[in-house]
Every structure is written in structure tokens, then in C-alpha cells.
Structure 1
């Protein structure tokens, strides 16, 4: 059976994820603590996997939670992971935690993004910073600002990044790795294609820097800023919205940058 012919059968889904992960049936069987024969039977539709077997298989394949729900539903089971959004009451406490983290990072830039790099939440400096680039004369106003577009769009931040080759290579590589991790996410693939269409940036990492971490060097609003980025995520998330959430925080890389940011906001 060609698994692309009937991609919504659970066996075809398992086989497709296994192929994307570059694993053999034996590899998957060993990681999932199942027999290779059972894996083969599941993939060909000769055997229907139990709920426990599906948990083992999707764990071994590192399938994202949102896609795991689709696999379980295809096998006739209820979706095991809540798909509540961050704005719903079920995740209200987690939203408050994110808001608290963002607020405490003031006066430095911080945003919370989803798996497509859409900005879901931002602190005050983050909102002021984004407003400089999204709107009239800048990036076409979207329903939600997108951090990838902010970085790569010709009307975005790229003209202000002094070390553009190094920075663009880093962020493009990160986007590419995320797309490889979830090859079935068509929206992420489209975003990556859009970013690639802008051109004029490094798609391969340059010669390794002596800096232990990438220092983003900005020249804007009469300030010369040097920032180090950090990414926060929920550990062991059991809801897709939380698994996909990333809190992007930027810290001053030197005392001069810290003084400038503490003395004035990024936007007047």
C-alpha cells in the first residue's frame, strides 16, 4: 500500500512519520518497545493499534501533540490532548504566567509566539517595538504581527541589523529545523517559502563566531544595541497550544545597551 494514497489511515500516518524521521520499522519497534511484525501490521492496516501502542509509537516518533490528536482520531480514539487556545479559560492560569514573564522582562523586548511565529502576546517594549514596523509604510498590517516577517521582510528589521549575515543565517536555520521537525505543517512550510523568497540573506551558517551566543547588533533610533536572545518554553506540555508556545526574550549584551534601554523605551 502506498501510504500517500490514503494518508488519513492510521497505518499510513505512522509510516509517513517514520519515513520523515528516517527510521526503519526495526528502529521504531525498538524505540516503542513493540515487535517489528506488529509495526509492519499496523502500517499495512493488517492490525489496529491499541491506544497504548499509539502512545508508544507517537512518543518514539516525536510527533507533535496537535498531530498526535489527528493520529488517535484516525484510529477511532478520542483526541488525548486538549486543543484549548491560550485565550480560553482552560489555559487562563498559563496565560497569566506568560503575561507575568513578559511584564517582568520590561524594559527589555519580549514576545510570546506560536508555532508559526505569530506574536500572541507582548510586553510594553515589545508592542512599541513591533508598532514601528507593522502598519502604514511598513510591513502590511496582518491580523497578528509575525516575528519571522519582522526579521526578514524588506520593510522589517533587517535594515537595522548590523550583523545581518550572521543573524539571518541563525534565524533561517531555526525556522528550517522547526519545519523539518513537523513536515506536515503546511503553514510553516509556506512561511519558510515566503522568507526564502525575500532573498539577500545567508541560508547557511557562517564561520562560527567567537561569541558563546549570537549577539544581535542593532542600529536604530540613534542607539547602538547589542542583544542576546533567549527562548523559554513549557516543559512537558500536555496541550498543543502550550507545546507550541515560545517566549522570546532579549537581554542586553553589554552595560551600554542596558543603560540605553533602561533610560528610554525603544519607541517614543
Structure 2
């Protein structure tokens, strides 16, 4: 287990705050903050949580900070199917249902697909129809997009989408949203056949595009979507904070018509 001082310094650097700025925002003395980072002073439990709050440290990493300082974790990590999360599951299903007839899914921190609406299942079944192979492992957004047996053959702007996904994973890693598992999956998919080696050294410090459309085609049927990502507000559970709800929206009338013709419950094949 790493020492708490270097971890605090890591998060301060990740948030691009000087010691002076953090000390001012947290209302602690600069001298005390310096002593905490160097290990000359040990923080109280309240101080760890206070600094973590100012630094907007994710809940999983706040638990790590507490453990490193010799305290028990503060935040539970519940299974998504736990009885205590029943209301949240109902909310997720409502959001997914409201997105019909367009795809929507729920991902965890490792990009595994935890929930999907009927439109998402029908759409990806349409793309995959007639193919025997599937990407390895449980349903996962990164594997599905990068593996030759996933949707990659049907994404006409795949290089653009792949670069945006890699940048997103790495930016989230810098912010502490992801963890070693997501990084491991990214390393795995970047070794798949046909994936450009340049993606392994992609610079993620440049400006972001407002949206990155995803353009699919199968047997001459075309779809163009952009997506929005939603998180749960003020979660107090690690699992809930790490959930991402991704909803796909049509970019043109052709997509709307093709969804009605090929992905609706009565026409999906």
C-alpha cells in the first residue's frame, strides 16, 4: 500500500493545483499541507476526506487514500444487483427505455456492458447477423469496437472512432475514473490485428472535438450516431459513481428511417 503523502501529491498534480492553491481551497496551512505530502505529518481521517473532496478524488481512490493513512474505507462498493440499489436499477431501466428506438447501454469502469436496452441488442444483432465469431470475454465496449469479430468491420470511420475511444480511456485514467482493469483491456485491444501501432502512443493532451460521430454500414444500410454519456448525481457508492449511461442519437433522417426499417421490434432480423 503506497504512503498517503505521495498519493495526495499525485492527486494535486493531476488536478493541476499548486500547494498554495490547494491549501487555500481546503483552508489548511501551506506548512501543514507540505508536511502531509512529505510524510512529516500524518493526516486525520477528516483531513483525508476534506482534501479528497477539494481535489474531487473518485470514491474508489478516496478509500485508497484512507487505507494508506491507516483508516478504514468510507464508501461501500455494492453489487449492482444488491437489494439496496433496487431504486437505481429501476432508474437505469427507465433511462434505457426512454431512449428507444435508439440504442443505449450502461457501462462500468472496465467498459463492460452491464445493461442495454432492446434497441441496442437489436442493432448490434443486425450488424452481427450471419457471423459466427464473437469478441472474447463478456460484452465490452472496447473489445466490441476493436476486435475484428466485433463491430469494427461495420464502422466506416473506425480510425477516427478508435482514436477518440483511446483518448477517452486515457483521459479518464488521468482523472482517476478508470483503473488497472480498464487499462489492461485497452492494452489488450491495442494488440488486436489491424490496430495501428500509433494508437499506443496517442497524445491525449490536445483539444477535443465537440462530438465524434460513429458511422455504421451493413449490406448498404447506413447509420450515423453521436452519443451522450450520463453519470449518476452525488453517488455515495463506488459502483454507482463508476457507472456510465451512453445513449446513441441519430444524426440524420437516413439513420432514423433505417432504425425504423431494420432495428424496430417488429422489423429486426
- Taking structure 1 as the reference length, the TM-score comes to 0.84
Deviations 1:225-254 (A, max 9, x none): 111211111122222111111111111111
Report if aligned partners of 1:176, 1:192 keep a CA contact under 8 Å in 2. Answer: no
Separation in 1, partners of 2:179, 2:203? 22
Deviations 1:118-170 (A, max 9, x none): 10111112234455659951212x2x210011111222222111122222222
Separation in 1, partners of 2:189, 2:172? 14
Given the alignment of the two structures, is residue 257 of structure 1 paired with residue 234 of structure 2, yes or no? no
Report if aligned partners of 1:33, 1:56 keep a CA contact under 8 Å in 2. Answer: no
**Equivalence for 2:152:** 158
**Equivalence for 2:116:** 122
Gaps of 5+ in 2: none
Return closer, same or farther for 1:117/1:133 CA change in 2, 3 Å cut-off. Answer: farther
Return closer, same or farther for 1:104/1:181 CA change in 2, 3 Å cut-off. Answer: same
Q: Any idea what SS the aligned residue of 1:46 has? A: coil
Q: Any idea what SS the aligned residue of 1:197 has? A: coil
The number of residues matched between the two structures is 258
Gaps of 5+ in 1: 1-6
After superposition, the CA RMSD in angstroms is: 2.9
Deviations 1:197-233 (A, max 9, x none): 232376469xx99x96322111015411111211111
| Between 145-154 and 54-63, the greater mean CA deviation after superposition | 54-63
Q: Any idea what SS the aligned residue of 2:156 has? A: coil
Alignment counterpart, residue 100 of structure 1, candidates 91, 94, 104: 94
Given the alignment of the two structures, is residue 189 of structure 1 paired with residue 183 of structure 2, yes or no? yes
Separation in 2, partners of 1:253, 1:78? 48
**Equivalence for 1:228:** 226
- Taking structure 2 as the reference length, the TM-score comes to 0.84
Given the alignment of the two structures, is residue 148 of structure 1 paired with residue 126 of structure 2, yes or no? no
**Equivalence for 2:135:** 139
| Between 192-201 and 103-112, the greater mean CA deviation after superposition | 192-201
Alignment counterpart, residue 36 of structure 2, candidates 35, 38, 42: 42
